[in-house]
Structure 1
Amino acid sequence: MYIIKKIDTLYKKIQFFKKQQKTLALVPTMGNLHEGHIKLILLAKKYADIVIVSIFINPMQFDNTLDLKKYPQTFLEDCLILKNEKIDILFAPKISEIYPNGIKMHTYIQVPKLSKIIEGKSRPGHFIGVTTIIGKLFNLIQPNFSFFGEKDYQQLLVVKTFVKELNYPIKIISLPIIRLKNGLAFSSRNRYLNALELKKAPFLYKIIRSTINIILKNNGRKLYETINLAKISLIKKGFLVDIFNVYNSKTLDVFSKTNKQNIILASVWLGTTRLIDNKKFKLPN
């Protein structure tokens, strides 16, 4: 495994593989690797000759400076995991390498509609940070494939949109949410949870599933009442609800009974930790 921190070194290595006509897969991460990341790496190995993992805690996508400072950094542990998984390259640049003139003066990529609704409304500028760093990694690495988890569902759609509209010759492949046995989605932010919060956290997915069951039973009727009851249940359990609603899973437009492909997107606070989750469902014909 090559550990590369400089763009020039990365470029030379990429060109070496390109000359050998190797196919490249990129798994972009912010480190603090868990089972979900490992599943993405294993999937990437099935698609490409060379697997590249990036670790970069991207300051541009944090709307809260405190959140950035406390984001878990486990670089040595991550290196051991990646070495064990036998990846080819770990790209782990410093902030100054990615943003040599600072963040405020850096060119950015924005997906107009999808970046400003739902999670984007709650976290202004977040998706500009995501698309900018992903776009930059795509330009540097020129992968044939890139892999993303579906837990950050809106992020996945944002990335797919800018790849399509800016004509990147990259196939985006997603992996369904990887969960613990109790239903809690794997997340780097789970480390923030104390023992009591860890016991409560799986309730979010439980409510998502039960809400979908009620929506299906009612064939989409009484949606407002159903969603409101779900929010009340979460609040009683100790969650602060930011987002909990049903959307078109293709466009993220608000729910309509004429659309059969739907998703519940949820963003909640449990203590000082923001948790996100989702689940797709289809309305019967």
Structure 2
Amino acid sequence: MQISRNYSKFAPFLSCAMKLISGRKELLNHLGSLRGAHESLGLVPTMGALHEGHLSLVKKALAENDSVVVTIFVNPTQFNNPDDLEKYPKTLDEDLALLGSVGQEITVFAPAVEELYNKGITSKKYFFDGLDKVMEGAFRPGHFSGVATIVQKLFELIRPDKAYFGEKDFQQLQIVRKLAHNLPFDLQIVGCPIVREPNGLAMSSRNRLLSEEMREKAGLIYKTLKEAGRMFGTENATKVGEYVSGVFSGESDMELEYFQIADEATLTPVKRKQENSKYRGFIAVYAEGIRLIDNIAMN
């Protein structure tokens, strides 16, 4: 087991196969040794508060690469709501224990903010052909600029061969693919299926902020998406949207922020179904004040 001296207190949570690093220079030295051995490198970027969904990404990365880096960093520039940033769970000890359960060698990079934003905590400006203007982009101004800023920093620092992202944040996944396409080095973005709780609720770090009762009830989100997908086979997008709105209008402790059916590739909201296009239904719901998102293939 190897750990940065700043994180020695986390030693009890680390397996002998895990290396925990907090500094850029130490990380670059470590990656240099891996590159010297001509090893393929996988990256799993996270904001911590890990769950089985994250673990599925790590396991896939381990299966497809010689070495894997998992980053744990709560990125301040992607939170347009300061309260949301403040409430985001920070559970490094639990995260390390979960990663240690995998039983294979993992490098964990858990830097302080100044390690990645040494010239001020600001976002870059990006142009994503409209991918960032709808749904999450419309309701969370600046969110995807913050996401792209930190993801680009990690890509340029770590230079992975493959990077793994969950399809729960499908809009983010498409934006990251666009970002990677414009980088001056080869990088494959791997999208991984949504992992769900037994009631269908998409696994999310935010779920732990819900009461047990609401966490169970929030399975309604996935149930509604599935029915919307079934309806979309015979009904137009307007009718399906009216159905979804009607479901949540009857829920006093859940509030629908948006439901949108969009082209899977361009994220353009559907107006008229095209025979050869793939569509996805996207949803955001507030439950006990906690914002939950999900999506589902509609055809």
| 2:251 is equivalent to residue 237 of structure 1 | yes
3-state secondary structure, aligned to 2:132: coil
Equivalenced residues, count: 278
User: In structure 2, what is the Cα distance between the partners aligned to 1:21 and 1:115?
Assistant: 36
Given that residues 109 and 135 in structure 1 are in contact (C-alpha distance below 8 angstroms), is that contact kept between their aligned partners in structure 2?
no
3-state secondary structure, aligned to 2:298: strand
Shift of 1:60: 0.4
Q: Which residue of 2 aligns with 1:102?
A: 120
Q: Which amino acid aligns with 1:188?
A: S
Shift of 1:182: 1.1
TM-superposition CA deviations, 1:200-232 (whole Å, max 9, x none): 20001101111111111x1xx443122112111
User: In structure 1, what is the Cα distance between the partners aligned to 2:129 and 2:185?
Assistant: 18
1:3 to 1:118, Cα distance in 2 relative to 1, 3 A = same
Identity %: 36
User: In structure 2, what is the Cα distance between the partners aligned to 1:108 and 1:97?
Assistant: 21
3-state secondary structure, aligned to 1:113: coil
Given that residues 25 and 52 in structure 1 are in contact (C-alpha distance below 8 angstroms), is that contact kept between their aligned partners in structure 2?
yes
Q: Which residue of 1 aligns with 2:232?
A: 215
User: In structure 1, what is the Cα distance between the partners aligned to 2:144 and 2:195?
Assistant: 23
| 2:263 is equivalent to residue 248 of structure 1 | yes
1:163 to 1:180, Cα distance in 2 relative to 1, 3 A = same
Q: Which residue of 2 aligns with 1:258?
A: 274
User: In structure 1, what is the Cα distance between the partners aligned to 2:130 and 2:184?
Assistant: 18
| 2:228 is equivalent to residue 228 of structure 1 | no
Given that residues 42 and 162 in structure 2 are in contact (C-alpha distance below 8 angstroms), is that contact kept between their aligned partners in structure 1?
yes
Given that residues 110 and 132 in structure 1 are in contact (C-alpha distance below 8 angstroms), is that contact kept between their aligned partners in structure 2?
no
Q: Which residue of 2 aligns with 1:115?
A: 132
Segments of 5+ residues of structure 2 without an aligned counterpart are 1-17
| 2:165 is equivalent to residue 151 of structure 1 | no
Shift of 1:167: 4.1
User: In structure 2, what is the Cα distance between the partners aligned to 1:198 and 1:135?
Assistant: 33
Shift of 1:110: 4.7
| 2:274 is equivalent to residue 278 of structure 1 | no
| 2:33 is equivalent to residue 19 of structure 1 | no
Given that residues 200 and 237 in structure 1 are in contact (C-alpha distance below 8 angstroms), is that contact kept between their aligned partners in structure 2?
no
Where does structure 1 differ by over 2 angstroms across 4 or more consecutive aligned residues? Answer: 106-112, 165-168
TM-superposition CA deviations, 1:41-68 (whole Å, max 9, x none): 1100111000110000000000011110
Q: Which residue of 1 aligns with 2:101?
A: 84
TM-superposition CA deviations, 1:61-107 (whole Å, max 9, x none): 00011110110010011111112223421000001111112213x64
1:35 to 52, 60, 85: 52
Q: Which amino acid aligns with 2:261?
A: V
What RMSD in Å do the two structures reach over aligned CA positions?
1.4
Q: Which amino acid aligns with 2:238?
A: Y
| 2:208 is equivalent to residue 191 of structure 1 | yes
3-state secondary structure, aligned to 1:237: coil
* Larger displacement relative to structure 2 (162-171 or 8-17): 162-171
Given that residues 184 and 202 in structure 1 are in contact (C-alpha distance below 8 angstroms), is that contact kept between their aligned partners in structure 2?
yes
Shift of 1:195: 2.4
Q: Which residue of 2 aligns with 1:4?
A: 21
TM-score of the superposed pair, with normalisation by structure 2: 0.89
Given that residues 53 and 87 in structure 1 are in contact (C-alpha distance below 8 angstroms), is that contact kept between their aligned partners in structure 2?
no
Given that residues 110 and 127 in structure 1 are in contact (C-alpha distance below 8 angstroms), is that contact kept between their aligned partners in structure 2?
no
